[in-house]
């Protein structure tokens, strides 16, 4: 995966940025999900990903509609509500050459799909998992979701009397090896995190606050554009340096720099802002997210990374050739071998 210069008409595999587009959007004007789709297009183009090797997975909801709006030449399946992780697990197990992108929402992940989400993370399936989090069920007219704030009032759904689920905290506790949070209104940061997620081996979760301009963009909503812009606190400035590419940089600002090497040899370079924060420190990530529960903080960036965890494919010792490409004689025992096994139980 390699980058291109902004002035190039095509990337390193000869594709233009338009080759990464999808169908025309039917989302509401200003929807954060559409901003995220544009960031995915830009990241895939700059990394020169082959669209025909990408598989998109989604469930049900506004977020799960959005894969139609990017990477139109890729494989895609829109499954049952909350069941996207099972589809992604199966597909990436039989064909580990796929670049898998799961797109879900706060309802699809945090409510009906929470169990599937947790087990996907426990297995560390090799995929990028995007949560387009707007705090409401937009397709069913704006009821508050499991990530809505305590005491939040919706236009039609009344007052929320239950505490929210923090999907980043759930991901870290479940053993996810890459957890980040971003904001649809901050495309530069989101694109850098997305590039790093594509280079990570294992599940990379990006919880993206994505304002619903129709049902949840009002005063007081922590999922709104205004609140996000006023309260966003980046943990660090992030640079992504692709494999085998030298960076040209002139940065004289003070600040400690930490480099995290990805599985493919690329780097995430983090420059500290404000507080000392180590994204490889799991207890520190949990403390940070717990502290946010009582404050008015909205920290974004790379919250946690563990490059040492095996992915599901590594754990299961899958062979180099994807299972889907193996001939029948490699996938099943011969008649003689089966007869010998059955004879042991007769």
Q: What is the mean pLDDT of residues 325-338?
A: 90
Distances in whole angstroms, Cα of residue 288 to Cα of each of 138, 169, 256, 304: 30, 10, 19, 11
d(CA 104, CA 208): 10
Whether pLDDT at 337 is above 60: yes
Range 249-261 average pLDDT: 58
* 18/129 Cα distance (integer angstroms): 24
Lowest pLDDT segment from 37-41, 86-90, 143-147, 267-271: 267-271
Kindly give the pairing relationship between strand 257-261 and strand 158-159: unpaired
Q: What is the pLDDT of residue 336?
A: 92
pLDDT value for 114: 94
**Where in the chain does DSSP place strands (E)?**
54-58, 75-78, 99-105, 127-133, 136-137, 143-144, 153-154, 158-159, 178-183, 203-209, 232-234, 236-241, 257-261, 267-272, 298-305
What is the model's pLDDT at position 227?
Answer: 72
Q: What's the pLDDT band for 249 if we cut at 50, 70, 90?
A: very low
SS3 of residue 147 by DSSP: coil
Q: Which two tokens stand for residue 31?
A: 């929807």
pLDDT (0 to 100) of residue 143: 81
pLDDT band at 344; cut points 50, 70, 90: very high
Cα 201 from chain centroid (whole Å): 13
Tell me the C-alpha distance between 48 and 345, whole Å: 54
Angle of helix 114-123 versus helix 84-94 axis, rounded to 10: 30
Percent of the chain exceeding pLDDT 90 equals: 56
192 compared with 147, residue with greater pLDDT: 192
Average pLDDT over residues 164-189: 94
How confident is the model over 256-283, as pLDDT tens digits? 667 788 777 788 777 656 567 899 999 9
Q: For 46-62, how does the pLDDT look when each residue is reduced to its tens digit (9 = 90+)?
A: 999 999 999 999 998 88
Q: What is the pLDDT of residue 301?
A: 93
Q: What is the pLDDT of residue 7?
A: 52
What is the average pLDDT value for the chain, to the nearest integer? 86
- DSSP letter for each residue of 95-128: -TTSEEEEEEEHHHHHTTTHHHHHHHHHHT-SEE
- The rounded distance, in Å, linking the Cα atoms of 264 and 139 is 39
pLDDT digits (tens, 9 = 90+) for 209-230: 998 888 877 776 777 777 788 7
């Amino acid at each position: 995966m390699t980058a291109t210069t902004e002035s190039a008409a095509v990337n390193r595999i000869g594709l233009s940025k338009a080759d990464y587009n999808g169908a025309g959007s039917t989302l509401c004007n200003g929807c954060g999900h559409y901003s995220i789709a544009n960031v995915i297009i830009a990241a895939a183009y700059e990394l020169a990903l082959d669209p025909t090797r990408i598989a998109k997975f989604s469930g049900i909801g506004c977020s799960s509609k959005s894969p139609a709006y990017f990477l139109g030449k890729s494989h895609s399946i829109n499954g049952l509500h909350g069941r996207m992780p099972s589809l992604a697990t199966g597909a990436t197990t039989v064909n580990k050459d796929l670049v898998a992108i799961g797109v879900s929402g706060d309802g699809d992940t945090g409510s009906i799909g929470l169990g599937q989400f947790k087990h996907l993370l426990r297995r560390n399936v090799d995929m990028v998992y995007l949560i387009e989090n707007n705090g409401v069920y937009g397709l069913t007219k704006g009821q508050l979701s499991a990530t809505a704030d305590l005491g939040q009032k919706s236009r039609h759904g009344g007052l929320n009397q239950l505490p929210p689920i923090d999907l980043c905290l759930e991901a870290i506790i479940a053993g996810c090896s890459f957890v980040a949070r971003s904001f649809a209104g901050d495309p530069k940061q989101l694109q850098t995190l997305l590039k790093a997620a594509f280079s990570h081996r294992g599940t990379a979760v990006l919880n993206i606050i994505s304002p619903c301009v129709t049902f949840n963009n009002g005063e007081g909503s922590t999922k709104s554009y205004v609140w996000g812009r006023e309260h966003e606190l980046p943990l660090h400035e992030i640079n992504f340096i692709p494999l085998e590419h030298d960076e040209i940089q002139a940065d004289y600002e003070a600040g400690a720099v930490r480099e995290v090497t990805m599985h493919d040899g690329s780097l995430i370079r983090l420059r500290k802002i404000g507080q000392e924060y180590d994204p490889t420190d799991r207890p520190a990530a949990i403390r940070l997210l717990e502290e946010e529960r009582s404050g008015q903080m909205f920290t974004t960036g790379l919250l946690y990374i563990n490059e040492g965890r095996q992915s599901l494919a590594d754990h299961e010792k899958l062979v180099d050739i994807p299972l889907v490409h193996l001939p029948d004689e490699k996938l099943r025992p011969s008649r003689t071998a089966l007869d010998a096994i059955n004879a042991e139980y007769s």
